């Protein structure tokens, strides 16, 4: 669809960064984020929660994420800007909503790199000489493990500072490897397929609430966390040679990633030794608390140990290499993404303008890169284990993704005449459906995770306030309070539903003074499984249509997007 006289065109030099990424660079940026530690650990974590029925969880989550990806495909093509997920809600609803969702975008991206570093060290600790690097009891680093973690963060920083073209070359090599290895693993493990495993150790569905187990596995088992990353092509939109490549990169990345993850889960279940499952007695007993030495090793390096037990020594060797390459590649990309999101937040005026400073030679936001690396190291300090981190990051991610359907619905009405290289079919149905689904995942993550996110969101606004008070950004935003009522209602409504819902218990800040009793009682199941899902769906629809009705007027949207579309007002009718 070409631009017409009534359609403003994108100003490609608006971001001040080098547009050096072609289609493959964008695709492999997204794909490299999707295929990370999730494929190495997710399959094991999921079966401990849901048994073989976890496969259904992968299918459900993939369908949800595909819808969210299609929405991002339209928005990324419409606004090829740096740190897009932190800017779309700002364009549609102004500074209050933009600030809230933008902070969730940054929190998610900044925390993924250290998770991947932790995963690499944990997997490597399956070597006897490296056992002391990682404490499996509490999921924390020790001794040389810290040296490795810090070293990886330095490497990520260095690669990011040498320029986006070199980043793309290095990432393309890493991601090609990362796609080949799980694909080869799927094929090779076909020759060790034990069909009886799907009905072993208690059966296909775990005892108790089978549906609830599947839903718990989607956030808590790392399913959604594993599928995250399709949006990297959007975050790098300000560095895309051709903005029309962004939608294609987003769509193809999630289709490839979703297919790999579903097949990986199937093959992990099928390749486990039947005698091991018989000894465990249930899928939950192959978790980290097992006193069986073999099972303990599987928890440190799941696919490596499964391949070794199956007599596939060569595959096990390459899996051990991939255990460092795959998470490290994803950590590299997420440090890139974090720096671009903070760049976008600075463009919107939320954080100090120094985050927009770029190097003269490579056109890289150097301060944003270094700051993201430091934040990544801090994330390694208080939070133990891959499994415990992913629930919090998943919900932060989904809150970030939840902003996209709202922004798409609003911008379809505000700026209908802007060129859209990809246009989502049936958006009037798909956008509210995607918002409902995103909030389902937030709800499934449970009371503990949600209360943590509320605290994190408040912290974000405190940081914005400090930047404003000390006048650290001349582009300080005017706070558009029109979005505040529905945003506050959204947060509080999900808080109430989560408190009375079926997923808990206990807030992460439970036990602190006067909050102890209230927080520790959250997730008390008063609503029941179906009641909680219904309440979440209904409240999501109420908020969706309330937010759309409270969207910014078209002339104010023009003011926000004039850097990207200098003649945006020409498209108004």
Q: Report the sign of the C-alpha dihedral through residues 260, 265, 269, 273, in that order.
A: positive
CA 36 – CA 157 distance, rounded (Å): 18
In a domain? residue 196:
yes
- Domain-embedded: residue 297: yes
CB 521 within 8 A of CB 500: no
Half-sphere exposure of 318 (CA within 13 A, CB side): 13
Q: Cβ–Cβ contacts within 10 Å for residue 186, how many?
A: 18
Residue range 245-266, pLDDT digits in tens: 999 999 999 999 999 999 999 9
Confidence category of residue 390, pLDDT binned at 50, 70, 90: low
Structure tokens at 145: 């493990």
Asked whether 75 and 234 are in contact (CB, 8 A), the reply is: yes
Residue 208 within any structural domain of the chain: yes
Q: List the domain range (segments joined by +) for residue 102.
A: 23-424
Q: Is residue 552 part of a domain?
A: no
Residue 570 in any domain: the answer is no
Helix %, strand %, coil % of the chain (to 5): 70, 0, 25
pLDDT score, position 6: 56
Tell me: cis bond preceding 505? Omega within 30 of 0 counts: yes
Would 485 be classed as within a structural domain?
A: no
The CA distances from residue 85 to 249, 402, 553, in Å, are 16, 10, 21
* Mean pLDDT for the stretch of residues 539-558: 94
List of residues 6+ apart from 413 with CB closer than 8 A:
548, 551
Sequence-distant (6+) residues with CB within 8 A of 124 are 130, 133, 134, 148, 320, 323, 324
Q: Is there a domain that residue 482 lies in?
A: no
| Residue 211 vs residues 23, 158, 162: alpha-carbon distances, Å | 40, 45, 48
CA nearest neighbour of 410 among 91, 101, 100? 91
Query: Cα(537)–Cα(236) distance, rounded to whole angstroms?
Result: 32
Q: Flag the least confident range among 83-97, 465-479, 555-569.
A: 555-569
| Model confidence, pTM | 0.88
Whether 2 has a pLDDT exceeding 90, the answer reads no
CB-neighbour burial class of residue 144 (10 A; exposed 0-12, middle 13-18, buried 19+): middle
**C-alpha to C-alpha distance for 514 and 517, rounded to whole angstroms:** 7
Whether 277 maps to a domain, the answer reads yes
User: pLDDT for 518-545, tens place per residue?
Assistant: 566 666 778 888 898 999 999 999 999 9
Question: CA dist 551 to 312, 409, 484, 557, Å?
Answer: 57, 9, 11, 9
pLDDT over 70 (residue 514): no
Is the model's pLDDT at 203 over the cut of 60?
A: yes
Is-contact 315 184, C-beta < 8 A?
A: yes
Residue 358 sits in a domain whose CATH number is: 1.20.1740.10
Q: Which pLDDT tens digit goes with each residue over 428-440? A: 999 999 999 989 8
pLDDT digits (tens, 9 = 90+) for 204-234: 887 666 888 898 888 878 898 889 889 999 9
| Count of domains forming the chain | 1
> CB of 8 within 8 A of CB of 565?
yes
């Amino acid at each position: 669809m070409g631009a017409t006289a009534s359609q403003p065109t994108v100003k490609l030099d608006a971001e001040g960064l080098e547009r050096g990424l072609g289609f493959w660079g964008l695709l492999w940026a997204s794909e490299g984020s999707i295929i990370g530690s999730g494929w190495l650990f997710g399959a094991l974590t999921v079966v401990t929660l849901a048994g073989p029925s976890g496969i259904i969880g992968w299918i459900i989550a993939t369908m949800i994420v595909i819808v969210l990806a299609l929405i991002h495909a339209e928005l990324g093509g419409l606004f090829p800007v740096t740190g897009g997920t932190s800017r779309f809600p700002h364009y549609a609803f102004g500074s209050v909503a933009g600030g809230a969702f933008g902070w969730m975008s940054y929190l998610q991206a900044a925390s993924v790199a250290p998770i991947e570093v932790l995963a690499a060290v944990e997997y490597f600790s399956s070597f006897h000489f490296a056992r002391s690097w990682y404490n499996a009891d509490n999921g924390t680093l020790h001794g040389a493990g810290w040296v490795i973690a810090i070293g990886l963060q330095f490497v990520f920083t260095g690669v990011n500072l040498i320029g986006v073209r070199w980043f793309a070359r290095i990432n393309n090599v890493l991601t090609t490897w990362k796609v080949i290895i799980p694909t080869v693993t799927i094929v090779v493990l076909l020759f060790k397929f034990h069909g009886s495993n799907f009905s072993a150790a208690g059966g296909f569905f775990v005892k108790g609430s089978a549906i609830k187990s599947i839903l718990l596995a989607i956030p808590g088992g790392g399913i959604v966390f594993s599928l995250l990353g399709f949006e990297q092509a959007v975050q790098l939109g300000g560095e895309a040679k051709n903005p029309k490549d962004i939608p294609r990169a987003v769509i193809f990345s999630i289709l490839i990633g979703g297919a790999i993850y579903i097949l990986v889960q199937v093959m992990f279940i099928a390749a486990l030794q039947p005698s091991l499952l018989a000894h465990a007695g249930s899928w939950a007993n192959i978790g980290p608390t097992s006193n069986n030495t073999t099972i303990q090793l599987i928890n440190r390096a799941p696919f490596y140990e499964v391949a070794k037990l199956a007599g596939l020594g060569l595959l096990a060797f390459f899996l051990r290499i991939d255990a460092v390459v795959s998470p490290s590649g994803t950590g590299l990309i997420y440090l890139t993404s974090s720096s671009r999101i903070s760049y976008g937040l600075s463009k919107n005026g939320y954080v100090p303008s120094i985050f927009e400073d770029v190097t003269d030679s490579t056109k890289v936001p150097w301060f944003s890169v270094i700051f993201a690396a430091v934040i990544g190291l801090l994330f390694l300090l208080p939070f133990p284990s891959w499994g415990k981190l992913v629930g919090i990051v998943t919900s932060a991610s989904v809150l970030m993704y939840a902003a996209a359907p709202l922004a798409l619905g609003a911008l379809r009405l505000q700026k209908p005449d802007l060129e859209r290289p990809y246009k989502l079919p049936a958006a009037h149905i798909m956008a509210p459906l995607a918002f409902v689904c995103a909030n389902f995942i937030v709800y499934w993550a449970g009371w503990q995770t949600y209360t943590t996110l509320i605290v994190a969101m408040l912290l974000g606004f405190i940081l914005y306030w400090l930047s404003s008070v000390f006048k650290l950004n001349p582009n300080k935003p005017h706070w558009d309070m029109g979005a505040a009522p529905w945003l506050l209602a959204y947060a509080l409504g999900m808080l109430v539903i989560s408190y009375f819902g079926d997923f808990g218990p206990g807030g992460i800040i439970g036990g602190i003074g006067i909050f102890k009793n209230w927080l520790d009682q959250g997730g008390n199941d008063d609503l029941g499984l179906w009641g909680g899902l219904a309440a979440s769906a209904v409240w999501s629809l109420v908020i969706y249509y309330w937010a759309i009705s409270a969207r910014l007027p078209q002339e104010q949207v023009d003011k926000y997007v004039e850097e990207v579309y200098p003649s945006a007002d020409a498209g108004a009718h």
